[in-house]
Amino acid sequence: MPGAKPIYVLNGPNLNLLGTREPHIYGHLTLAEIEAACVARAGQLGRTIVFRQSNVEGELVNWLQEARDQAAAVVLNAGAYTHTSVALHDAIKAIGVPVIETHLSNPMAREEFRHVSLVGQAAKGVIAGFGATSYLLAIEAAALLSQESPP
C-alpha cells in the first residue's frame, strides 16, 4: 500500500527490559528483536511501522494523540498501565484510530489485579498470551482494520 500511513507500535513501562526481565513470563527476545520481527511482518503486508517505547504514561498519551493524524492503526502494549491508566483509556477513545491491545503473556492467567484492562475497554480488540507472536498477530489485525477505516 504505497503512501499508506504507518502502523504505530507503542510499548509501555519496563518493556525496554525484555530479554532479561522475567524471561519465564515474557520470553528471551529483546524489544529490538520484536521490533525487527514487526517491521518484517509489516513489510510482508506492504505496511510500515513506527515503533516506540516509553516508561512515561504522558509520553504514551502524546503518541496516541499523534497517531490520530499520523497512523493507520495502533498496536499498544501498555504494560502495567493497561490496568491503571484512565488517561490511556481516554486517549484511545479520543483518537478515532483502531487500537489493538497486545501482551506477551496472558494477563487473565496471571495475578488477579491484571484481570482488568482499562486499555482493553477502549481498544478495538486484544491479542495476548502468544509471546512475541502476539505482536505479529496484532500487526496483521491493524493492517486489516486500517483497510476498513475511512481515510
C-alpha span between 26 and 9 (Å, rounded): 17
Other CB atoms within 10 Å distance of the CB of residue 137: 16
C-alpha cell at position 144 = 486489516
* pLDDT tens-place string over residues 97-108: 999 999 987 776
Q: Domain 7-28+44-148: which topology?
A: Rossmann fold (3.40.50)
Catalytic hit among 8, 81, 89, 103: 103
Nearest to 126, CA basis, from 114, 94, 43:
114
Element (H, E) at 77: strand 73-77
The average pLDDT across 43-53 equals: 97
* Dihedral sign computed on CA atoms, order 9, 27, 14, 116: positive
* pLDDT tens-place string over residues 63-84: 999 999 999 999 999 998 998 8
Confidence check: pLDDT of 1 > 70 = no
The answer to whether residue 81 is catalytic is: no
- In sequence order, the 6+-apart residues with CB closer than 8 A to the CB of 78 are 10, 12, 60, 85, 88, 101, 119
C-alpha cell at position 60 = 504514551
C-alpha span between 51 and 36 (Å, rounded): 10
For the chain, what are the domain ranges?
7-28+44-148
Least confident segment among 58-67, 81-90, 135-144? 81-90
Catalytic hit among 26, 81, 89, 135: 26
Provide the pLDDT for residue 151: 44
Mean pLDDT of the chain: 89
Q: Is residue 74 classed as helix, strand or coil in its secondary structure?
A: strand
The answer to whether residue 26 is catalytic is: yes
